[in-house]
Structure 1
Amino acid sequence: MNTSGMLRRYLARVMDNESYFYHVIHCVESQLDDWGHEAVLLFNWMDAVKEISMTFFIDGRLFLLQISKEQAARLQSQNAYQLDRCIWEQLMEQGFQLKNSSYIEKAFC
């Protein structure tokens, strides 16, 4: 998946936390699709809840992830790809194997 660092930095600055989180999830889903994975990504962003629970089904495997809204906001302000990296790292901790792409390179540089 190709991604523009300049555009992503702009989005990280101007988008509210919830909208930016939705954007990052869409990027993760697009990358999985580009790699040929069958993936369903579900998450719960409720205003009254401080934690974001994520459930990913990737090629029939279940991955459960969680991040606080506070941490997601902090990652968004630190680096335009830091939230992506956090999600990918949680997937890798559960056994998901990353492949190379320009998007992954930006998330892990």
Structure 2
Amino acid sequence: MNINGMVRSYMIQIMEDEDFLKHVAELIERQLHEWYLNYEIFIMKFKDYELVVKNGDQYYEVTLTQQELEIMRFKGLYELDHRLWTALMDQGLVVMKGDGNYLETVLPEIYKS
């Protein structure tokens, strides 16, 4: 999957926080579907945002406060993606190298060799 920094920069400027989170979750889901179609992603808003990745009976959960979302959104173009992927990986989600530049951009540490 490929991404474009110029487009991401524009999206950060015009999108609301929650819409941006939904967009990033959709990208993560598309990447996961390249590996296995059974992955599903859910976003829930309680006091904080809850992102849940489901694969069969396996669940991975990431919690974000509104403040964390705002900070990550403006800290870097792919800061939110990186935070979500690393939290999922810390819970045991296996990340494979993907086609395109998305994972290489978001998780450069897995491409170092």
Alignment TM-score, normalising by the size of structure 2: 0.85
What whole-Å deviation, never above 9, does each CA across 1:70-98 have from its counterpart, x for those lacking one? Answer: 10111010111110111101111011121
Distance 1:106 1:42 in 2: 24
Which of 65, 69, 88 is equivalent to 2:85?
88
Q: Give the corresponding residue for 1:55.
A: 52
Distance 1:69 1:106 in 2: 24
Q: RMSD in angstroms over aligned alpha carbons?
A: 1.4
Distance 1:105 1:17 in 2: 24
Q: Unmatched 5+ residue regions in structure 1?
A: none
Q: Give the corresponding residue for 2:21.
A: 21
1:78 aligns with 2:72: no
Distance 2:39 2:57 in 1: 8
Q: Give the corresponding residue for 1:105.
A: 104
Distance 1:62 1:100 in 2: 21
> 1:37: how far off?
4.1
Write the letter of the residue equivalent to 2:104. E
Distance 1:107 1:73 in 2: 18
What whole-Å deviation, never above 9, does each CA across 1:26-52 have from its counterpart, x for those lacking one? Answer: 101111012234111112125xx2x11
**Kept in 1: contact 2:60–2:91 (CA 8 A):** yes
> 1:62: how far off?
1.0
Q: Unmatched 5+ residue regions in structure 2?
A: 109-113
> 1:20: how far off?
0.5
Write the letter of the residue equivalent to 2:39. A
